[in-house]
Structure 1
Amino acid sequence: MARVKIGVQYTPAPGQGVEETVRAAAEIENMGYCCFAVPDHLTRPHQGLAVAVPDPFVLLARLAADTRTIGLGTMTVLDALRLPVQTLRGAVTLQQISGGRFELGIGAGWQQADLDALGPDVRAARARINSLETTLTVLRQAWPTGPPAHDDPRASLARLLAGGTTRPRVIVAAGTSRMLEVAARFADTVALTVPTRPRLAGKTPTAVSVAAQIAAVRGARPAQMPAPGFHLQIRDLSTNPPNDPDGDWWAVGGSPGQIADALHRRADAGVDYLSVCTEDLHLLEWLASHVLPRCEG
């Protein structure tokens, strides 16, 4: 099968202390997962109520002190919550203190509770995508691949803030045709997702929709850029195999062999990075012991 990385997307439980999250990250590192990523939602629903979610940059800075090899990522930063230079400075700092292990996952946002916190001039999809393009441009200016534009003050500031730090991997979440085009121009890895309205209606990614998104990104990728990677979440992991294995690519299930086969299909389709979305350490240990060895190579 094609090579695939498997990480974990972890959302701390309501009221969970930072030290418990630190211990979870260390355990997941020891299990052999490639990355420990946290979200950037302001709140999330829990038992019918909204509960706060920690700031990912601050939380990852703490986790960097007690981990050594695992990647530390955001999945994904809501771009419009921060100015471009704030995102750049946070990414540079995390890259420095983690020893080059930071992965910047970033997107335009989709959760209504997050969007409600933004002003009306920022909340609209067009404004959020324009803001994201500005941030991605600043990130590119911080680590230029060609001769820098000396007459651009913003580019000069971006390079100054980067300060010679190695560039973190940039992962752009994309679902709509416009977002896929933006991701094609800027991302190292494209985190494939379902556009907001279909997602809210219960739609999930399928083998067909993932293939179409991958083709769209590859078709829009500038010729001078290296081929992008592709990321997909695993949101549902159960003991029962799905009725239609290719009908919901957020879900896998069954025996270790059946789950491994499902991951193989995603890898063979071009998805080289998968994130398991769970805080269940027992489930992650089972997956690491019984499934991940079948996915090596």
Structure 2
Amino acid sequence: MDFRIFTEPQQGATYDDLLAVARAAEDAGYDGFFRSDHYLHMSGDGAPGPTDAWITLAGLARDTQRLRLGTLVTAATFRLPGPLAVAVAGVDQMSGGRVELGIGAGWFEAEHAAYGIDFPDVRERFDRLEEQLAVITGLWTTPRNETFSHDGSHYPIVDAPGLVAAAQPGGVPIIIGGSGKRRTPSLAARYADEFNAAFDSVETSGELFARVHGACEEHRRDPDELVLSVAQVLCVGNDETTLRRRAAAISRDVDELRANGLAGSTDEIVDKLGRFAEVGATRVYLQVLDLADLDHLEDFAADVLPQLG
């Protein structure tokens, strides 16, 4: 099982804040650093303001050495697929091949209204996501001296040159997640390298994994090719004082976090991670909400990584 740090910068973080967390994660032995792709805060005032996910990751590509870097997740509504493919491939080149693209249909309507972004109904958002995946992967896999075209309803592409080259052969790995019963598993089976179950229970995560495995079989794909991962909020403390201080810092209740996240003592967390492993998870994104508490990353790395890393 490998572990990645997952941040929510729209809640309030500068680039320097994120760099400090990323470097602490790299030093502590984590596998990756990921961030949300949002422009509007979901609580508090969001100060000092939003940062763009892919601009941030471009900076981290040059300011880190080893970490995998990516989004959980970029909204397909935010960007045109051609420029997104170019941007992500460019960041992959800048990182020496360490980038991954988490992408979804988009869901936060108020955010779209705040920044003048169209927010169609859910069916159209999934239609756009499906076309974006076709365009992005098509551009990444088109050989030099050839062109790529896509006869799409939303993103028609005509004779794009095969020059959108990521550092990783075949393009950047794609992460798809969510609880949709039909289209999400199908898109994951067709396009994804990883399927993520975010903030779900062990039991629900297992059901989602089984559903995407079934979709792989329908599309004649080996289910074992797909990495299965979970995302959980982190709150570790081997004494109640530390645990309650960390829960209070993110305005959460300890008992609620124990039920719905990775919270408690090292032994409690190791036990829950073992149950996620039993249903198929081999990767965990640890949502760290208090970016000033770098000791939190170090405590988990010292006490848990040696047992499960």
Q: 2:111 — aligned with what?
A: 114
- Say if 1:97 and 1:111 are closer, same or farther in 2 by CA, change over 3 A: same
- Give the aligned partner of residue 81 of structure 1: 78
What are the ranges of 5 or more consecutive residues in structure 1 without an aligned counterpart? 194-203
Deviation at 1:68, TM superposition (A): 0.4
Trace 1:1-297 onto structure 2 (pairs within 5 A). Answer: 4-12=1-9, 16-47=13-44, 49-51=45-47, 52-117=49-114, 122-144=119-141, 152=149, 154=157, 157=160, 159-162=162-165, 166=169, 167-177=171-181, 178-193=183-198, 205-221=200-216, 222-224=219-221, 227-239=225-237, 248=259, 250-278=260-288, 279=291, 280-296=293-309
Distance 1:238 1:141, change over 3 A: same
Equivalent-residue separation in structure 1 for 2:12 and 2:204 (angstroms): 37
- Residue 187 of structure 1 aligns with an amino acid whose one-letter code is A
Q: Distance in 2 between matches of 1:163 and 1:258?
A: 40
Which residue of 1 is the match for residue 153 of structure 2? Answer: none
Q: 2: CA distance between counterparts of 1:75 and 1:120?
A: 19
The structure-2 alpha-carbon separation of the partners of 1:183 and 1:163, relative to structure 1 and needing over 3 Å to count, comes to closer
Letter of the structure 2 residue corresponding to residue 157 of structure 1: A
Q: Could you tell me how far 1:58 is from its partner in structure 2? A: 0.3
RMSD, aligned CA: 3.1
Q: Which residue of 1 aligns with 2:154?
A: none
How far did residue 259 of structure 1 move?
1.1
Pair 255,122 (structure 1): closer, same or farther in 2 beyond 3 Å = closer
User: With structure 2 as the length reference, what TM-score do the two structures score?
Assistant: 0.80
Instruction: Note closer, same or farther for the CA distance 1:158–1:54 as it changes in structure 2 (3 Å cut).
Output: farther
Helix, strand or coil at the partner of 2:106: coil
Given that residues 11 and 42 in structure 2 are in contact (C-alpha distance below 8 angstroms), is that contact kept between their aligned partners in structure 1? no
Contact 2:72 2:102 in 1 (8 A): yes
SS at 1:152's partner residue? strand
Residue 163 (structure 1) shift: 6.7
Equivalent-residue separation in structure 1 for 2:22 and 2:287 (angstroms):
14
- What secondary structure does 1:43 align onto? coil
In structure 2, runs of 5+ residues without a counterpart are: 151-156, 244-253
Larger mean Cα displacement after TM superposition, 115-124 or 15-24: 115-124
